[in-house]
Amino acid sequence: MPTRDAAQLGQNPAPTYDAYLSTCPARQLVDRISDKWVTLVLPALADGPQRYSDLARRIDGVSQKMLTQTLRTLERDGLLTRHVTPSVPVRVDYELTPLGLSLMPLIASIKSWAETHMDEVSAARDDYDSDSSR
Amino acid sequence: MPTRDAAQLGQNPAPTYDAYLSTCPARQLVDRISDKWVTLVLPALADGPQRYSDLARRIDGVSQKMLTQTLRTLERDGLLTRHVTPSVPVRVDYELTPLGLSLMPLIASIKSWAETHMDEVSAARDDYDSDSSR
DNA sequence: CGGTATCCTGGGAGATACTG
DNA sequence: CAGTATCTCCCAGGATACCG
């Protein structure tokens, strides 16, 4: 059967791609999405389309360059779309595609984990740093 | 310890930390774990303790420096432990802590997503690049 | 408003050599 | 085997200025 039965399972068997291999395209994709700004941009689009300025304001400290660059890359990879409203001044909205929507919750869980377990990580760092026998 | 009622829900309410804020410690933590090598190292430890050389072999293309650096950081953050067996030659095993074990599946899902959706991303890129009106 | 274009610098990261 | 130490280079990414 040529249909993908495995797709119904949460855990897919080894596909044609393997990120452990340095030459595999998936390795480069892992590199792209395992990115600080991606981890902030995707969850920021969870509640529907957002204007460029909204994203810039929400994601504190991001430079225009990095925000634009990140959005362009995500657009090229098919994770979000860019809608330009030719008003004056111009208005640009970004929205997750179905593909982006499939990745977003996974990324959001990482961000959420960081926020939830920050205290434990801090404690571990203090513990590590205070051990003189290291 | 204070009782965490919100912990039972999959979606926690805004905690004390907010990665959207550039000054928040969670922002820095997001930066640390949204990392190419972390995304490969954590899933590599999913099946129990692994030797340094096993990790190096499995994660194709990683340099000694980056592997060691990544492992040290993860150890300091309390995500894994380092066990030294003083044999000759020395043997070092790395193992996920409960904290690391709580993050690992989330990271593994990102890696898995990259492998599963590589074709769609490739198609999107071709589509984007072939659009001359861009 | 939502971008480019350009310059510039820190440090991320590979290569290499050495060691307990 | 599992690292550390050093050197070096490259480019990610911030700052700044300008534009449709």
Question: Torsion-angle region of residue B82: left (phi > 0), alpha (psi -120 to 50) or beta?
Answer: beta
Is the pLDDT confidence value at A134 over 80?
no
In chain A, where are the structural domains located? 25-132
Does residue A45 belong to the interface with chain B, where contact is any CB pair within 8 Å? no
Does residue B112 belong to the interface with chain A, where contact is any CB pair within 8 Å? yes
Residues in A touching B128 (Cβ below 8 Å): 75-76, 78
Is the pLDDT confidence value at A115 over 60?
yes
Measured in angstroms, the CA of A123 and the nearest CA of chain B are apart by 8
Chain B, 62-91: which have a CB under 8 Å from a chain A CB?
A: 75-79
Nucleotide D15, nearest residue via CA and C1':
A63
- Contact between B94 and B55 under an 8 Å Cβ cutoff? The reply is yes
Per-residue pLDDT, averaged over A101-125, amounts to: 97
- Phi, psi values for residue B72, rounded to 5°: -65, -45
Question: Torsion-angle region of residue A34: left (phi > 0), alpha (psi -120 to 50) or beta?
Answer: beta
Is the pLDDT confidence value at B12 over 80?
no
Per-residue pLDDT, averaged over A32-45, amounts to: 97
Instruction: Report residue B7's pLDDT band, with 50, 70 and 90 as the boundaries.
Output: low
Checking each nucleotide's C1' against the CA of A92, the nearest proves to be C2
Tokens for A35?
């990115």
The pLDDT mean for chain A works out to: 90
Is the pLDDT confidence value at A94 over 80?
yes
Measured in angstroms, the CA of A80 and the nearest CA of chain B are apart by 10
- The pLDDT, as a whole number, for residue B131 is 75
Is the pLDDT confidence value at A3 over 60?
no
Measured in angstroms, the CA of A82 and the nearest CA of chain B are apart by 12
Q: How many Å apart are CA A39 and CA A21, to the nearest integer? A: 23
Is the pLDDT confidence value at B83 over 50?
yes
Give the pTM. 0.88
CA of B64 to C1' of C18 (A): 14
Is the pLDDT confidence value at B6 over 60?
no
- Contact between B80 and A121 under an 8 Å Cβ cutoff? The reply is no
Does residue A53 belong to the interface with chain B, where contact is any CB pair within 8 Å? no
- The pLDDT, as a whole number, for residue B1 is 46
Per-residue pLDDT, averaged over B75-87, amounts to: 96
CA of B63 to C1' of C15 (A): 9
Is the pLDDT confidence value at B134 over 90?
no
Interface size A-B, in CB pairs within 8 Å, comes to: 163
Percentage of chain B exceeding pLDDT 90: 83
Distances (CA, A) of B66 to B35, B36, B51, B97: 11, 10, 16, 21
Is the pLDDT confidence value at B90 over 70?
yes
Is the pLDDT confidence value at A38 over 60?
yes
- Phi, psi values for residue A81, rounded to 5°: -115, 160
For B25-132, give the CATH class.
Answer: mainly alpha
Task: Tell me the pLDDT tens digit for each residue of B58-74.
Answer: 999 999 999 999 999 99
Is the pLDDT confidence value at B3 over 50?
no
Q: What is the DSSP string of chain A?
A: --S-GGGGSSSPPP-S--TTSTTSHHHHHHHHHS-HHHHHHHHHTTTS-EEHHHHHHHSTT--HHHHHHHHHHHHHTTSEEEEEE--SS-EEEEEE-HHHHHHHHHHHHHHHHHHHSHHHHHHHHHHHHH-TT-
- The pLDDT, as a whole number, for residue A10 is 53
Is the pLDDT confidence value at B88 over 70?
yes
Task: Tell me the pLDDT tens digit for each residue of A13-36.
Answer: 545 899 999 999 999 999 999 999
Checking each nucleotide's C1' against the CA of A90, the nearest proves to be C1
